[in-house]
Amino acid sequence: MPGQQKTTFRRATFAGGCFWCMVHPFDQQPGVLAVISGYTGGSVPNPTYAAVCTGTTGHLEAIQIAYDADVIGYPELLATFWRQIDPTDSEGQFADRGQSYQTAIFYHDAEQQRMAEASKAELEATNQFSRPIVTKILAAGHFYPAEEYHQAFYLKNPHHYRRYRAGSGRDLFLAAHWGEKD
């Protein structure tokens, strides 16, 4: 129709440890249309939470974001991602240990790959961390939404969510390194 503005929808996929803790920071941003908790990076089709937790599927807990690129850009999403994780921990995130809790940026095209690599290099150049940044940058593969009870967990179980974030050490780390809280 004449006069209507075309919206540019895109996807972004990030693994930042427990997916419960990754939804809220993105869900609150203008231009973010949806944030889905799920699993990606593995070799087993249709994984379940129980299977992923065994560490045998190769999947990481992740979030997939649908966003309006005319409102929010991928660089802003990357900046939010980096401020939610410990990018130097190769064994998981905070209290969550194991392969399924490792961090990664899953790019959907060459431009996202370029921007992700540039953002990682910029963060490394700040010397903000005493250890090397180990977050991987990988091509996006199939993303499997997690079970319904994992979706928007911070809204469904706000008290449990806040206790989990604080008890895991995530909030202390983020405050110490970024001066921010979720």
Q: What is the mean pLDDT of residues 46-57?
A: 95
3-42 residue pLDDT tens: 556 668 999 999 999 999 999 999 989 999 999 999 999 9
Please give the domain boundaries of the chain with CATH numbers for all domains: 9-178 (3.30.1060.10)
Buried b (16+ CB within 10 A) or exposed e, 111-130: ebbebbeebbeebeeeeeee
Active site includes 53?
A: no
Q: Are 119 and 82 in contact (CB under 8 A)?
A: yes
Q: How confident is the model at residue 164 (pLDDT cuts 50, 70, 90)?
A: very high
Q: What is the pLDDT of residues 78-107, one digit of tens each?
A: 999 999 999 999 999 999 999 999 999 999
Contact 103, 87 (CB under 8 A): yes
Active-site residue (options: 18, 52, 63, 85): 18
Query: For residues 36 and 51, what is the distance between their CA atoms, to the nearest angstrom?
Result: 19
pTM: 0.93
- What does the chain come to in residues? 182
Is the pLDDT score of 133 beyond 50? Answer: yes
* Amino acid found at 43: S
Given a contact cutoff of 8 angstroms between Cβ atoms, the answer to whether 86 and 94 are in contact is: yes
Contact 61, 54 (CB under 8 A): no
* Helix H or strand E encompassing 97: strand 96-97
Question: Which one-letter DSSP state was computed for residue 122?
Answer: H
Q: What is the mean pLDDT of the chain?
A: 94
Is 177 in contact with 123 (CB distance < 8 Å)? no
**Residue 48 φ then ψ, to 5°:** -105, 165
